[in-house]
Structure 1
């Protein structure tokens, strides 16, 4: 794959390209682990005698921890480096796979799935790793390749694990299949640790000066930072409410969990204040400032792009089956095609961002995605199915490309905080999915697509306020001196 400004020799396995391959494979494996249960749910339900409500609960629990996990992992990767944290994440989630595969009750399954939500945070780590190795003129393409190839881990799990389970153990085969994903993750943890470095030789790995929260550079940015955390807790509250609707926790438990979430928000807010107390005593020097609105806008953009992608993938097979009366297997293929477009769209979005500018590319691609979903809302049984599929694929391409543009900008805000910023933006992808899936449970499919179209349009308008990354960004060295980093 090539960038107009510089080449990425995709088929090389040396230098920075080796880091790219090793890292997207780590991301790929975390997605296999994260979704290793999905294609095996029928067998799991049969083996343990679970009812439909319990299965739905497992699906909810699988994404619940990912939202706060991405924030925590972002902090850890900035402080300890992507090599250490990716290796540790693979090791721990591999062990959780064994816990899941050996579960003998719904309670054990539920706890294992909740803990495996941590695997979904692996994405954040690679964003920092790739940004350390690739220059800005290649960064969008490199991050797009990382995201696009890693995302198909869920599709690989869906294709391979049912066959593996059948070959290895029949009704109990799901245990072997999920256990094997754990073995793969643990082995790759060692391979990754021994094969990569955090930075090229001679480069400095910039770390934040304080831990416990993102360092901002103005009072207004501090307020924004507090406000942007509220939807994260709101999404967790919404997931808890959905579990309560399924009848698996009481109304009293719902109130108790929400009270805990409020306490956690207040505790996190106090930690954020402690990290940023100095900005209330004296202004931050202009050369040290960055604008938090960049994080806010990119979070909104990722919520409506990746969030809607996760939501649509969940409902699209049923949509094609009901509207066009196609066989279940074919409807599943159409649904999978929506997600599979990531292989093309994420690198394409990154390349477009590198070539034509970060801000302009994001605005245009968001606008086109909005139009695509508006057109999808008009699909009905009178449409030729070929036209419906083409419309769906085009919408998916614009959506994935816009998501690729988002992470072409994230590493260019503040190098030492890239993990934390990627954690916040990445968490908003899951928040978007929770919100869109909740909307889908209350409205018709056309109204659902219109809601997505309107949300993406709002993000496109907000992106007008985004600042194009400057030619250089600064970082402070351990000795207090300032180093300027070329961005173009």
Structure 2
């Protein structure tokens, strides 16, 4: 069976070996990252935690992922995906073990905060897969990587409670979580031993400067600074949630210090952007080496609406079905899982459509479907048959996850040597979206929540008209000064 010419999913040789090991690594990171939710009640009982402390752990689990994706993207471009993915898997097994055997809320909170870093693993594979697949197969390959790897969260939900029961007793959850840490540690060795950054003889292009993202025009310089603001704002929003105005984990004084720290770090970040790019104000970048940062900005907005909404909806959908249709928690969870199951085919499908029909046309269609899908979800109520509500959720999830695949079918075609950084920023916007949508959910009813997501999808559709279909070639400079042209269309 082949999903496109030269792309046989049953092969485990050459580029297909790299693809399979990449999605497996991503799968492991998501199993570890989402190992808490399915064992939440057991953790709460064993450690004697309050409901507010559990909510705090859930927030801490995603807090670090926003800056981590940006940082990991930069490290990937500089040192290569093989080393960075292996180190991430190995190092993040440590807080996983710490959480599994913690005996206090403080230990659990620190470990959960550190585990947010493993959520950055996704961006590493985006760069690695882009090195091994040509442009006409890249969307499909990235879609398989993202869709099959992302299924790790659903796999954790289905398997970890069973494993905990198998071990039995109050500490069954500890062993289940420790097993995920062991998986991460073992796979780090497997990955490092079997992967190379590029095919034999190919060049791995690195950024000229590792301190900040390069831009190639003065307008793009200011657009980059603007696009960084929502990432810091999302972290400020998380701090607000932890403050007395939210769940009261931190004091007003501590929250104020965090806000000041975020503002200071943004200024430092901006100074690094200036340091890397100040030359563009005095000497224009040659046309052959330019790229449009607006391409990145558009993809950021789209991933905010797609992956951001997926993270938010997956966390609330069981409760939505339970309350709307008076289902038991078990049945509601099973019904809601249909949304996550769509990832296995939808995300690769979005990549395949992009390969076949073009990046921009595919994104336009899928984003329009996304807006319509959430509009329909906003009209679901108890008068609907349950089966029809499930169909609506699955239809919506198709456009959400296909849209994610289409976004990352375009990311690697912007500037090869900066693919990790671009993927890191776009990936971070997905988490920014989740933070924003979940905050909205805490303030409004379900119908309004879905309608707001639909409205942001419409905004994403409008921004798409500013996107340019990737065409021609990307120019990259070799160490000896010669130029390599990489086909993108």
What TM-score bracket applies, with the shorter chain setting the length? Answer: over 0.9
SS at match of 1:208: coil
Q: Does 1:252 align with 2:253?
A: yes
Equivalent in the alignment of 2:67: 68
CA drift of 1:101 comes to 1.4
| DSSP 3-state at the match of 2:109 | helix
Between the aligned partners of 1:110 and 1:68, the Cα distance in structure 2 is 18
SS at match of 2:207: coil
Query: Which aligned pairs between 1:86-485 and structure 2 lie closer than 5 A?
Result: 86-244=85-243, 245-485=246-486
C-alpha distance in 2 between matches for 1:334 and 1:263:
45
Residue 179 of structure 1: how far off its partner (Å): 1.1
Residues 434-472 of structure 1, C-alpha deviations (whole Å, 9 max, x = no match):
000111111111111110111001101111111100121
Q: Residue 7 of structure 1: CA displacement?
A: 3.2
C-alpha separation between the residues in 2 aligned to 1:3 and 1:248?
Answer: 49
1:31-53 C-alpha deviation (Å, 9 max, x unpaired):
01111111111111111111000
2:170 is paired with a residue whose SS is: helix
Shift of 1:315: 1.1
Equivalent residues of 1:3, 1:138 under 8 A apart: no
1:73–1:121 Cα contact (<8 Å) kept: yes
- More off after superposition, 416-425 vs 476-485: 476-485
Q: Secondary structure at the match of 1:484?
A: strand
- My pick for the range that moved more, 383-392 or 401-410, is 383-392
- Runs of 4 or more, structure 1, over 4 Å off, are none
Tell me, in whole angstroms, the C-alpha distance in 2 between the residues paired with 1:487 and 1:254: 46
**Residues 476-485 or 426-435, more deviating:** 476-485
Residue 102 of structure 1: how far off its partner (Å): 2.0
Relative to structure 2, which stretch is displaced further, 385-394 or 68-77?
Answer: 385-394
How far off its partner does 1:271 sit? 1.0
Moved more, 132-141 or 277-286: 277-286
Describe the superposition over 1:142-195 as per-residue Cα deviations: whole angstroms up to 9, x where unpaired. Answer: 000000000011111111111112222421122111111111111110000000
Q: What is the distance in 2 between the residues matched to 1:284 and 1:266?
A: 25
CA contact 2:3–2:9 (8 Å) conserved in 1: no
Q: CA deviation at 1:425?
A: 0.1
1:429: how far off?
0.2
Structure 2 CA distance for aligned equivalents of residues 351 and 113 of structure 1: 36
Q: How many equivalent residue pairs? A: 487
Q: Is the 8 A contact 1:363 1:461 kept in 2?
A: no
SS at match of 2:186: helix
SS class of match (2:486):
strand
Does the CA-based 8 Å contact 2:368-2:458 persist in structure 1? Answer: yes
1:182-234 deviation line (CA, Å, top 9, x unaligned): 11111110000000110001100000011111011011101011111111110
CA shift, 1:3, in A, is: 4.5
Distance 1:115 1:376 in 2: 35
Alignment gaps of 5+ in structure 1: none
Post-superposition shift, 1:336? Answer: 1.3
Measure, in 2, the Cα distance between the counterparts of 1:39 and 1:323: 22
On the 8 A contact 1:169/1:176 being kept in 2, the answer is no
- The separation in 2 between residues aligned to 1:378 and 1:156, in whole angstroms, is 30
User: What value does the CA root-mean-square deviation take over the aligned residues?
Assistant: 0.9
Unaligned runs of 5+ in 2: none
